[in-house]
A and B are shown apart, each in its own frame.
Chain A
Amino acid sequence: MMTPEEEREFKARRRSRNIALGLTLAAFVVLFYLITIARLGG
């Protein structure tokens, strides 16, 4: 069992990891969109 303090730390880390992953995925969506435009233009 986790102490309340550990649980807070657990949630904080999980949250920051999810945000980092979400931003990475969003960046990928933008990158793939731009690559597609660039390849179609070429």
Chain B
Amino acid sequence: MTTAASATTRLPTDWRDFVSLTKPRVMSLVVFTGLCGLLAAPGSINPILGFTAILCIAVGAGGAAALNQWWEADLDAGMKRTASRALPQGRMNRTDARDFGIVLSIGSVLVMGLAIHWLAATILALSILYYAVVYTIWLKPRTPQNIVIGGGAGAFPPLIGWIAVTGHITAMPILLFAIIFIWTPPHFWALALFVQTDYAKVGIPMLPVVAGEAVTRRQILFYSIALLPVSLAPWWIGGTGLIYGISALALSGLFLVQALPVAFRRKRGDEDRMKPEKRLFAYSVLYLFALFAALVADRLILGGGLSL
């Protein structure tokens, strides 16, 4: 029971608070990358089943997000960005949030297993456990590498979308996983450099706070370099055609070009507008959308079209 629970929790929780518990904005990226994995996979899937697979990925992500907010309600209360959420505000009982998250998680896995197959359901269950338990409960509060670990959770959707179509795990879906995994740290740390967050106040060890700005900038460069071969790998192994290969080379090359000034500069006082960092962050969002769109375009144009 939350300490903030007072007269307000006597009222039934507004259904919109339950919706916001699923982090709908994060879900939109999950749906996009999951759909790209599904569309880029060789073979075909009945459109109803394809829709169901994406729905299950989205609902599973929503369940994991609800469990994350249930666990972190006290931390959220201490941070400006999250203090207005339903749980820290006492608009919802903590146990309600937990049960809602569990129902969504188990429900999405069951429907995935019954409608698609149990391999996709197993990976979906693993991804939910990974985000809710391994990341949120275990490692996020313990290591400044938490963003690297959290990136693993965001990397599951295209893998699951792909497997929903093919029914088995191959190199391609694992590479899609690897791309998002490597992309997440420079994406998030670029943001962390210019947004003053209060993670430190609630005891979450974010890299710029714990290891300092210089280390964070070096790590951004390291991951941006790694992103180039990893994003090109689907083309090298023959999993995609030239549309993807050229797009990946151009997009990842530009990523590295944007990361260089971020890596080799230092913040100059409080007047520093942090433009290179802001540019890199904005570009990183565009990068992921463009890269996955190129993957789908490659499949649709060069792969002989899709028989959905």
CA distance A7 to B121 in the complex (A): 43
* Interface check B307, CB cutoff 8 A: no
Interface of A is mostly: helix
B49 within 8 A of A: yes
The number of chain B residues with a CB under 8 A from chain A is: 13
Which A residues between 1 and 42 are near B, CB-CB below 8 angstroms? 2, 6, 9-10, 13-14, 16-17, 20-21, 31, 34-35, 37-39, 41-42
B49 touches A38 (CB 8 A): yes
Q: How far is the CB of B301 from chain A (nearest CB, A)?
A: 27
Stretch in contact with the other chain, from B10-18, B151-159, B264-272, B280-288: B10-18
Is A35 in contact with B49, judged by CB distance below 8 angstroms?
yes
CB pair A31 B52 closer than 8 Å: yes
Residues of chain B within 8 A of A2, CB atoms compared: 10
Q: Are B12 and A13 interface neighbours, CB within 8 A?
A: yes
Known: A35-B115, A39-B115. A16 touches B48 (CB 8 A): no
Residues of B within 8 A of A6 (CB): 11
What is the CB-to-nearest-CB distance from A22 to chain B, in angstroms, rounded to a whole number?
Answer: 11
> B residues 1-36 with Cβ under 8 Å of A?
10-15
A16–B13 CA distance with the chains assembled, in angstroms? 10
Q: How far is the CA of A39 from the CA of B48 in the complex (A)?
A: 10
Most chain B beta carbons < 10 A, residue from A9, A10, A14, A34: A34
Contact of B12 among A10, A31, A39 (CB under 8 A): A10
Docked Cα-Cα span, A30 to B114, in Å, equals 15
A20-B48 Cα distance, complex, nearest whole Å: 23
Within 8 A of A (CB), among B41-66: 46, 48-49, 52, 55
C-alpha spacing A15/B11, complex, angstroms: 12
Knowing A34-B48, A35-B49 touch, does A9 contact B11 (C-beta < 8 A)?
yes
B15: which of A10, A16, A34, A41 is its contact (CB, 8 Å)? A16
CB atoms of B52 and A35 under 8 A apart: yes
Inter-chain contact A35/B48, CB cutoff 8 Å: yes
What 3 A-B pairs are tightest by C-beta distance, nearest first?
A: A20-B15, A38-B48, A38-B46
Can you list 30 A-B contacts (CB < 8 A)?
A6-B11, A9-B11, A10-B10, A10-B11, A10-B12, A13-B11, A13-B12, A13-B13, A13-B14, A14-B12, A16-B14, A16-B15, A17-B12, A17-B13, A17-B14, A17-B15, A20-B15, A21-B15, A31-B52, A35-B48, A35-B49, A35-B114, A35-B115, A37-B48, A38-B48, A38-B49, A39-B49, A41-B46, A42-B46, A42-B49
Kindly list 11 other residue pairs between chains A and B, CB separation below 8 angstroms, not including A39-B49, A39-B115: A2-B10, A6-B11, A9-B11, A10-B10, A10-B11, A20-B15, A34-B48, A35-B52, A37-B48, A41-B46, A42-B46
